[in-house]
Chains A and B, each alone.
Chain A
Amino acid sequence: MTSASIFLQIIFNGIMLGIQYSLVAVGFSLFFGVLDVINFAHGDIFMLGAFVSLILINVTGMLTASGATYVFLLILVIILSMIIVGGLGVFFERIVVKPVSKGPTLMSLVATLGLGIAIREAVRLFYPRGSETKRFPELLVKLFPGKEAIEFKGIILRYDNLLILAVGVIVVILLALYINKTKMGLTIRAVAQDAEAASMMGVNKNLIIDVTFFIGSALAALAGFMNGLYYNSIIFDMGAMAGIVGFSAAVIGGLGNIYGAIVGGFLFAMVESLSAALIPKGSEYMTVIAFAVVILFLIFRPSGILGERAYERV
C-alpha cells in the first residue's frame, strides 16, 4: 500500500467512525441543552438500535429476499428500528430521565447510569444467549453479486461502508435542515440555548423534550445499526464505550451545541483512526489516546470547540 492510500484509509476509517460517534454525540448535546441532563443511558440506546435492527432483519426475513424487495425491506428495517428505539427513548425519558432532571445534575447522571446498566443487563439476560457476540450480516453484498467491494485509489471500500457514508451524510444534512428550517427544530435550538427564555415565550416544554428524546434516540439507534454493519458483530455491552465516547465528543464540541457534537465526533474518530494506524499497538490504545485529547480539551478549552451554553444563572 502506498502512503497515499494508507492516508486515505485512515481518513476513511475516521469518517466511518466519526459518523457513528457524531450521531450519538448529538443526542448527548440535545439532552443536555433541553433538559440539563447528562444521559448516560444513551450509549445503551445505541446498543438497542443495533439489536432491534438485527431482530427486524431476522423477523422480516429480509435476507431471503432479493432485488427491489430487498432494498425496500432494508429501508424499512432502518426506519422502523429508528422509530422503535426513538419511542423507547421517549419512554425512558418519561419514566426516568425527566423525573431525575429536576434534581442536581449529578443525580441524573447516576440515575441514567443505572438505567443504562439495567438496559444492558436486560439484553444480556433476556436476549437468547445474550452474553455472546452476535453476528450482524453484511447487507449490500447481496445486491452486487460477484464483486466484494469497490477499489478506489488503493483502498478497499466495502459496499456496506459506502451505505454508512451515504446514510450518514444524508442524515446529517437532514438534521441541519431540521434544526434550522423547521419550527420545531428552531424551537429545540432555542430551548437548548436558554430554556427559561423559551418557556417564557409559551413553548410547550414537555412536547419539546419528547421530540428531542425521540430524535436523539433515533439517531443513536441508526448509529448502532451502522456500528453493527461496520464490524459485522454486536454485543450487549457495546453501548458502554459508545456512551463514554459520545459524551466525550459532545463535551469537546461544547455541550448543548449540535454542530459542536458533530465536530467532536469526527475529531474523536480521527484521533482514534490516526492512533490506530500510526502508533505501535495503536489499536489497543487508540481510545486511551483519544481520551487524553479530551482531557487536554477540558483543560484548555473547557467550554468546547464551538462553545457550551452561556452563563449560569446566579
Chain B
Amino acid sequence: MKKENKFLDCIKIILVEVVAFFLFLFFLKVESIWTVIVAILLVALIYFLSKIYKEKFQALLEPFSKYQNFAIGVLFILLVLYPIISPLMIVHSTYWTLILIQTGIYIMIALGLNFQLGSTGMMNLATAAFYGIGAYTAGLLALKLGWSALITIPLAGLAAAFAGLLLVIPIYKTKGHYLALVTLAFGFMLVLAADNIEIIGGPQGLKNIPPVNIFGYSFLTNIGGLHFYTNYYYLVLALLGITILVFARLFNSWVGLTSAYIRDDELAAKGCGINTNFRKLIVFVVGNFFMGVAGALYAHMIGFISPPNFQFAQSLLIVAIVIIGGMDNILGVIIASILLVVFPEKLRVVTEYRIFLYGILLVVTLILRPRGILPFGPRKYDSSILKFARKGGS
C-alpha cells in the first residue's frame, strides 16, 4: 500500500509540474498583454479555490513537501529541457532564454541580499554597486589580462565580498540604520566613480569582454541549432542551483538561527552569547560574494558593461524582490524575481510606470504583509529533527 501511495504521489508531482511548465511556456509564447491579465486572474482563481477547497488543495500539495527532493529533481529536469523545448513552441525563444538567464542572475543577487536583509536584517541599498564591482572585476581581468572565466568569476565574488568588508568595518559598532545610509551613499559614489575613471572605461564602460571559455570550449558556440546563450543558460542554472543549495543549508543550521535572532531581536541575541557585530560582518561579506559572482556572469555573457547598468534603480529592484517575495524565504525570493523581472517584459506598455509601481508595491507590501508574499516557514534543520515533535513529550 505504501509503495503504491508513493508512486501516486510522484505521479501527482510530475503532473502538476509539467502542466505548470507548459502553461509558463504558453505564457511566454503569446504576444499580447492579455496573457498577463489571464495569468493574474488564474493565480487569483487558484488562490480562492485553495481557500474554499482547503483539504483538496492540501492533498495536492502534500506530496511536494513529503518528497521535496523528488519535486526539486523533476523541476530541475524540466529546466534542463527548457532550452530544447522552447524553440519548438516560441518564436522569440532566444529573447526569452536571455530574459530567463537574466532572471537567474537576479535571483542570485537577490538570494545574496536575502541572506543579508531577509535572514539577518541588514539593509544593503548598494546591491547593484556590488554586482557592478563583480562585473567590472571579471570584465577587467578577462579583457586586460586575458584571464579565464574559471578565475574571474570567483575573483569577482571575492572582490565584491572584500568591498563589503571595507564598507562595513568602519561602521562596525553602529546601529542598523547607518548601514542603510552608508550603502545608499556608496551606491551613488560608485556610479559616480565609474563614470569618471577612464581606465575602467568611464561612461562608455567596458566593451568586448571575452566570453566564458572552459578548456577551449567557447561559450559563443551555438549548440546544434540552439543559440549560444544556451551555454550561459546551463552555466547560470548550475551556479544558481549551487547558490540555492548553499543558502538552504545555511537556513537550516546555526547560521540561519543566529541570523534570524539578530534580525528579530538583536539585544536578546547578544544576551544569548552572540557577538552580533561580528556575525553581521560575516553575513554581509558572504552575501556580497554571490552578488559579485552574478556580476561576473553578466559581464561575460553580455560582453559589455557600463555604469548605467548598476544604478540605484537596480538596487531598488533587488530590495523589492526580497521584501515582496518574502524575507528569509528562498522560494519567495525566486517567485518574486520571476514576477518582477519576467512580467514587466510582457507588459511593455507599463515600462514607463515600472519604477512607480515598484515603489507602490513596496509600500503596500510592507503595510499589509510585512513579511512578504511567502513568509518564512519553520526551521526544520533535518527530517530527523522533525521526529522530536511528538505528542506528550519524548
Contact = CB atoms under 8 A, between A and B. Distances in A.
A298 to B, nearest CB: 5
B171 A106 contact: no
Contacts of B177: 38, 105-106, 109
Contacts of B361: 114
B176 A302 contact: no
Looking at chain B, what size class is its interface with the partner chain? 35 or more
Interface string B148-185: 00000000000000000000001101111110111011
A103 to B, nearest CB: 6
A302 B173 contact: yes
A114 B366 contact: yes
A106 B355 contact: no
Given A109-B123, A248-B181, A298 B359 contact: no
A121 B356 contact: yes
A242 interface: no
Nearest to A131: B352
B176 A106 contact: yes
Interface string B360-385: 11110011001000000000000000
B70 interface: no
Nearest to B352: A125
Interface residues of A, number: 41
Contact of B323 (A110, A119, A294, A314): A110
A299 B192 contact: no
A93 to B, nearest CB: 13
A117 B121 contact: no
Contacts of B123: 106, 109-110
Contact of A295 (B171, B353, B358): B171
A295 B185 CA distance: 10
A314 B267 contact: yes
B140 interface: no
A240 B184 CA distance: 11
Nearest to A248: B181
B22 interface: no
A261 B174 CA distance: 19
Nearest to A106: B123
B355 A312 contact: no
Nearest to B263: A104
Interface of A: 38, 96, 99-100, 103-107, 109-111, 113-122, 125, 240-241, 244, 247-248, 251, 284-285, 287-288, 291, 294-295, 298-299, 302, 312, 314
11 contacts: A109-B180, A114-B358, A114-B359, A114-B361, A117-B362, A125-B353, A287-B188, A288-B189, A288-B192, A302-B175, A314-B267
